[in-house]
Amino acid sequence: MIAYLIRRILYAVPILIGVNLLTFALFFVVNTPDDMARMQLGIKRVTPEAIENWKQQRGYDKPLLLNRAASGADMVTDTIFWQKSAGMFVLDFGYSDDGRSISREIATRMGPSLAIALPTFLIGLVVYVSFALLMTLFRATALDIAGVALCVVLMSVSGLFYIIGGQFLVSKLWHLVPISSYAAGMDSIRFVVLPILIGVVGSVGASSRWYRTIFLEEIGKDYVRTARAKGLSELTVLFRHVLKNAMIPILTGVVVVIPLLFMGSLLTESFFGIPGLGSYTIDAINAQDFSVVRAMVFLGSLLYIVGLILTDISYTVVDPRVRLQ
Amino acid sequence: MNRYISCLLTLLLASCDGGLWNNPYPAADAGKSILYTAFTERPKHLDPAQAYSENEYEFLAQIYAPPLQYHYLKRPYQLIPLAAAQMPAVRYLDMHNRALPDDAPAEKIAYSVYEIRIKQGMRYQPHPAFSRDAQGKPEYDHLAPRDLRDIHALGDFAHTGTRTVTAADYAYQIKRLANPQLHQPIFGVMSEYIVGLKDYAAVLQQALKSNPDAFLDLNAYPLPGVQVVDEQTYRITIHGKYPQFAYWLAMPFFAPLPQEAERFYAQAGMHERNLTLDWWPVGSGPYYLSENDPNLRMVLSRNPNYDSEHYPAEGEPGDAQAGLLADAGKLLPLIDRVVFSLEKETIPYWNKFLQGYYDASGISSDSFDQAVQVNVGGEAALTDSMRAQGISLSTSVATSTMYTGFNWLDLVVGGNSDRARKLRQAIAIAVDFEEFVSIFANGRGIAAQSPIPPGIFGYREGEAGINRYVYDWVNGAPQRKSIEQARRLLAEAGYPDGVDEQTRQPLVINLDTTASGVGSKARLDWLRKQFDKINVQLVVRSTDYNRFQDKIRKGDTQMFYFGWNADYPDPENFFFLLHGAQAKVGKGGENAANYGNPEYDRLFGQMKNMDNNPARQVIIDRMQEILRRDSPWLWGYHPKNYVLQHGWLHNVKANVMANNKLKYWRVDAGQRDASRREWNQPVRWPLWLGAAALLLFGGWMWRVLRQREEAR
């Protein structure tokens, strides 16, 4: 397994270089360094000298990919691409174009994002799986039909509606929790309860239906019939046998997103005033801040790769037949 | 299950500090003199040499104390001393440095010398850069990386200090306006005026090049246009006569900056921790930034060393009756702490205001009908529900203008020909901005008659102030000319019924805009309909911000949307947007329409250096007449600000020029707490209902499962 992991990690390097190159190309097809300078400097009283000065200070006065004026290795290294990308492979994200440390920003904002995303993920997983098992348990009954219908209804409602409706009911009408804001430590509980609740409810439809499909597929298999024939209760069959055997498809969808929980949620964080990472990338795209965009895309890719590796490892945990070679 | 619900409820209740459940602030802050407000966008810069946006000035104006400020209560807007002991004395010199009389003609004046004497005894906010050890040496000026190991914010330094503000600090900040390591938005304009500033920047650039890693000591290089006379006095010498320079002295660009603060932040390891002057300002104003987390909240705390200013004792007629002079003579600021919370979305912002968790709020379009009703006379009034909560409304016309420009270089809509002028006038009549304001701004704006908004010298009320090319004066009010007149003008321009006489092709005009998507569709559709009235086809070319800016720079447009927010309350700051020397194409100025009229330019040159007097008004009238006739812009509208405030917030008077208003405001924290308690009592039944439903469902499930198992 160690050899497999090393191989996967080595595969990640060209993938990350490719992602980085693609981000770079896409960004600079749309924006020129002059555009970036103008965006940062504002529209009032901006002189060409100020633009040149801004580019020079941040290294955007260099050629994009190849410096023909330089010689030797400098032809590659004395370019915007190299200067902005090389450090990321040792997780040195540098500074945003407005001069803030990106690593510090990520470190500061990761906590609040996780405070929402992790409980939402864990509670959600339990609720969705339980609800799906419940529907499976009562399959083809009125409860199952009502459950599926409820799932379809919940799936059809926009996520924004849950947020605005939740804030209106719970915070505005009933005054049970603050509408928005955040605090560190234990005091954060009252700020995160509602976003977590809304996050869980908002995804209950799609996720429960998906898990129900998986469980229904399993429940028709021979080993289930055998378990029942042995006299096991329906609950035991479901929780001890069906759930265990359905873990591979569940893990495929679940483990990969665990590292990405750090990245936060744009809508939830904006409406609830959570100082997380959710809007960091979008704000950077709007501000044409390439340093932040490339750092966040790189981090997202890295976390996704980590998630895929973790998924592979998790297969070996739930299914002893799986060997990573 | 019951146990878990109980635990959750206990945790929830425990975290509520015994206060209101929905209170977003610590219960311990109840009853304190704190103002709660919000910001919607994090400020980019907090360095007074770099900041230039309104959302940055919202903070900086409370932190820094430039020499001058606007009188909070008096109108028209009037400059008064802030850090200066009195208004600056201005001397005029000819090109041989000989003194000239005050009434010397502007063309004779080669230099104006502003001598500024600052108040004695002003001190900076507490800051580690001023901290001294037992020997009296700076405590934190030689920090090693290990000293910064546990430092993450300015508050992590164990000691702070202060010192007296000197004239040299003001001179130092002016030098920073030329520092090549910073972006100074006003360097371009200031280098034209402050003697030697351009050369000074070149010297600094050279010094930086020769030693890029060293601290750039601005005091090692002299700037001829700025002289420190003594501890309290400094002089600024500018080229020619430029009366508007006094307005710049009321901006943070000219606030004092202690060099030790720059040295402090320049130490290794500071930047990595976001410990920079751009993040943690060092000012001598009424407040200092005590908490800076722009993703969540920014907190201003009273500067304990600020004791040089009192609440004004006089204002406009009516101010005393409005209670605005009740605090006259009291030491400023009147509030101890200002908590700014980030609210990116308008709905939570508005709801928290209604719950009493913000003391004041603007009104978004979503909430307008809930807050304001327009009566038969067209006046805005609060709805009954707002009045019942003790909320009051204050309105003011912004010193801004939102316009649609014609590109003067365009062969169809631009230029000085009679044909193009009549076409522009026809369009100006057709596009009904009163309707636009009514539909898209909830009536919050007034249709513009020229670039000058109300409150700026040169603006004329009533019949004398209307644009006679677009309006008639009927029954004591301006009335837009009829569409028939617009069509007649269009025919005279060579486009009868919207068809080009020469080519027999329909007239098509392109509008470049960054607006796109569903949100803008209604506005753009409305605009097309306005052009349809005169059978002119409008093609909207939506483009991204970069391309739009590029088109404007190259003059590759026919029409475009733009806006301008005044730097200072002087007509020059609006008229220069149409001055030929400011053309965007070729000159890179602020005249996006590339308008050029020699007569207008000549009058502008005369007007800009004059004091506000009847002679200046005559010239302004003439300039406005030229502009209205040439119609290089659809004059658009001047937005109106609507601000709501709760009854416990006092001394609020709309002042669109002064950004340092918070020091005058006062809150009655007791009244606020009582109102919050009254409005926010938790409604508990949904919790019990939810718990009961869960229990019932769980019980029912358990029974059904038991029955199923027994049946097997």
Q: What is the pLDDT of residue B366?
A: 83
Q: Does B546 touch chain A (CB under 8 A)?
A: yes
Would you state the structure tokens that stand for residue A61, as one six-digit string? 């006065």
Q: Are residues B130 and B160 in contact, defined by beta-carbon separation less than 8 angstroms?
A: yes
- Residue B476 pLDDT class (50, 70, 90 cuts): very high
Q: What is the pLDDT of residue B80?
A: 97
Q: What is the pLDDT of residue B492?
A: 96
Q: What is the pLDDT of residue A264?
A: 82
- CA–CA distances in Å: residue A45 to residues A51, B229, B590: 11, 31, 7
Q: How far apart are alpha carbons B217 and B673 in whole angstroms?
A: 51
Q: How far apart are alpha carbons B350 and B363 in whole angstroms?
A: 8
Asked which of A66-75, A99-108, B161-170, B510-519 is least confident by mean pLDDT, the reply is B510-519
Would you state the structure tokens that stand for residue B276, as one six-digit string? 């920079």
Taking residues B103-130, report their average pLDDT. 95
Q: Does B279 touch chain A (CB under 8 A)?
A: yes
Chain A neighbours among B 474-533 (CB < 8 Å)? none
Pairing type for strands B471-474 and B649-650 reads unpaired
Q: What is the pLDDT of residue A42?
A: 77
pLDDT at B155 over 70: yes
Taking residues B616-627, report their average pLDDT. 97
Would you state the structure tokens that stand for residue B543, as one six-digit string? 């483009």
Indicate the average pLDDT of chain B.
93
pLDDT at A2 over 90: no
Chain A neighbours among B 12-41 (CB < 8 Å)? 12, 14-17, 20-26
Taking residues B393-421, report their average pLDDT. 94
Taking residues B626-654, report their average pLDDT. 96
Other CB atoms within a 10 A radius of the CB of residue B149 amount to 9
Pick the residue with more confidence: A303 or A46?
A303
Nearest chain A residue to B50 by CA distance is: A41
pLDDT at B517 over 80: no
pLDDT at A175 over 60: yes
Q: What is the pLDDT of residue B303?
A: 98
Q: Comparing C-alpha atoms, which of B51, B70, B127 is closest to residue B288?
A: B127
Interacting residues of B457 by C-beta distance below 8 A, sequence separation 6+: B76, B569, B570, B571, B612, B616, B617, B620
Chain A residue numbers touching B549 (CB-CB < 8 A): 35, 38, 43
Task: State the nearest Cα–Cα gap between A85 and chain B, in angstroms.
Answer: 18
Taking residues B305-323, report their average pLDDT. 95
Q: What is the pLDDT of residue B470?
A: 97
pLDDT at A45 over 80: no
- Residue B2 pLDDT class (50, 70, 90 cuts): low
pLDDT at A239 over 90: no
Q: What is the pLDDT of residue B376?
A: 66
pLDDT at B125 over 60: yes
When CB atoms are compared, the residue of A169, A182, A288 closest to B296 is A182
Q: What is the pLDDT of residue B538?
A: 96
Indicate the average pLDDT of chain A.
91
* Contact at CB, B348 and A48, closer than 8 angstroms: no
Q: How far apart are alpha carbons B179 and B171 in whole angstroms?
A: 13
Backbone φ, ψ for residue B91 (5° rounding): -115, 140
Chain B residue numbers touching A179 (CB-CB < 8 A): 22, 24, 348, 351-352, 355, 357
pLDDT tens for each residue of B231-267? 999 999 999 999 999 999 999 999 999 999 999 999 9
pLDDT at B712 over 90: no
Chain B residue numbers touching A54 (CB-CB < 8 A): 183
When CB atoms are compared, the residue of B21, B271, B545 closest to A177 is B21
Chain A residue numbers touching B345 (CB-CB < 8 A): 180, 270-271
* Contact at CB, A181 and B341, closer than 8 angstroms: yes
Nearest chain B residue to A233 by CA distance is: B709
Chain A neighbours among B 140-199 (CB < 8 Å)? 180-181, 183-189
* Contact at CB, B22 and A101, closer than 8 angstroms: no
* Contact at CB, B544 and A30, closer than 8 angstroms: yes
* Contact at CB, A174 and B276, closer than 8 angstroms: no
Q: What is the DSSP string of B514-581?
A: S--SHHHHHHHHHHHHHHHTTT-EEEEEE--HHHHHHHHHHT--SEEEEEEE-SSSSTHHHHGGG-GG
pLDDT at B597 over 80: yes
**For testing the chain A interface, which of B345, B346, B567 should be mutated: the one with the most A CBs within 10 Å?**
B345
Q: How far apart are alpha carbons A107 and A100 in whole angstroms?
A: 13
- Residue B115 pLDDT class (50, 70, 90 cuts): very high
- CA–CA distances in Å: residue B507 to residues B171, B416, B535: 57, 19, 8
> B281-306: string of b/e by CB count within 10 Å (b at 16+)?
bbbbbbbbbbbbebbbbbbbbbbebb
pLDDT tens for each residue of B242-251? 999 999 999 9
pLDDT at B15 over 90: no
pLDDT tens for each residue of A7-28? 989 999 999 999 999 999 999 9
* Contact at CB, A98 and B549, closer than 8 angstroms: no
pLDDT tens for each residue of B450-473? 999 998 999 999 999 999 999 999
Q: Are residues B237 and B113 in contact, defined by beta-carbon separation less than 8 angstroms?
A: yes
Nearest chain B residue to A171 by CA distance is: B22
**For testing the chain A interface, which of B546, B565, B709 should be mutated: the one with the most A CBs within 10 Å?**
B546
Chain A residue numbers touching B14 (CB-CB < 8 A): 186
Q: What is the pLDDT of residue B6?
A: 52
Q: What percent of chain A has pLDDT over 70?
A: 100
When CB atoms are compared, the residue of B185, B274, B347 closest to A44 is B185
Chain A neighbours among B 332-371 (CB < 8 Å)? 341-345, 347-348, 351-352, 354-355, 357
- Residue B556 pLDDT class (50, 70, 90 cuts): very high
Task: State the nearest Cα–Cα gap between A3 and chain B, in angstroms.
Answer: 37
Q: What percent of chain B has pLDDT over 90?
A: 83
pLDDT at B3 over 60: no
Asked, as a colleague might, if the bond just before B67 is cis with ω within 30 of 0, I would say no
When CB atoms are compared, the residue of B181, B297, B705 closest to A57 is B181
pLDDT tens for each residue of A287-323? 889 999 999 999 999 999 999 999 999 988 888 887 7
Pick the residue with more confidence: A185 or B175?
B175
Would you state the structure tokens that stand for residue B630, as one six-digit string? 């040439």
ipTM, two decimals, is 0.89
Chain B residue numbers touching A104 (CB-CB < 8 A): 272-274
* Contact at CB, A47 and B23, closer than 8 angstroms: no
**For testing the chain B interface, which of A181, A188, A238, A274 should be mutated: the one with the most B CBs within 10 Å?**
A181
Q: What is the pLDDT of residue B377?
A: 66
Q: How far apart are alpha carbons B19 and B680 in whole angstroms?
A: 10
β-partners of residue B91 are: B113
Taking residues B290-317, report their average pLDDT. 95
Chain A residue numbers touching B545 (CB-CB < 8 A): 35, 39
pLDDT tens for each residue of B496-509? 999 999 999 999 99
Nearest chain B residue to A46 by CA distance is: B185
Taking residues B73-84, report their average pLDDT. 94
When CB atoms are compared, the residue of A47, A172, A190 closest to B351 is A172
Other CB atoms within a 10 A radius of the CB of residue B370 amount to 13
Q: What is the pLDDT of residue A162?
A: 95
Q: Is B34 helix (H, G, I), strand (E, B) or coil?
A: strand
Taking residues B400-424, report their average pLDDT. 96
pLDDT at B528 over 80: yes
Q: What is the DSSP string of B208-256?
A: HHHSTTS---GGGS--TTEEEEETTEEEEEEES--TTHHHHTTSGGGS-
Task: State the nearest Cα–Cα gap between A162 and chain B, in angstroms.
Answer: 14
Taking residues B378-401, report their average pLDDT. 90
Residue written as token pair 């908002």: A202
Chain B residue numbers touching A193 (CB-CB < 8 A): 12
Q: Are residues B448 and B638 in contact, defined by beta-carbon separation less than 8 angstroms?
A: yes
Q: Does B687 touch chain A (CB under 8 A)?
A: yes
Q: How far apart are alpha carbons B663 and A135 in whole angstroms?
A: 62
pLDDT at B212 over 80: yes
Chain B residue numbers touching A182 (CB-CB < 8 A): 296
- CA–CA distances in Å: residue A181 to residues A4, B26, B100: 45, 12, 60
Q: What is the pLDDT of residue B8?
A: 55
Backbone φ, ψ for residue B446 (5° rounding): -125, 140
Task: State the nearest Cα–Cα gap between B578 and chain A, in angstroms.
Answer: 14
pLDDT at B18 over 60: no
Q: How far apart are alpha carbons B118 and B168 in whole angstroms?
A: 11
Q: What is the DSSP string of A127-149?
A: HHHHHHHHHHHTTTSHHHHHHHH
Chain B residue numbers touching A26 (CB-CB < 8 A): none
Tell me the count of A-B CB pairs closer than 8 A: 162
Q: What is the pLDDT of residue A46?
A: 81
Would you state the structure tokens that stand for residue B702, as one six-digit string? 């358990």
Chain A residue numbers touching B156 (CB-CB < 8 A): none
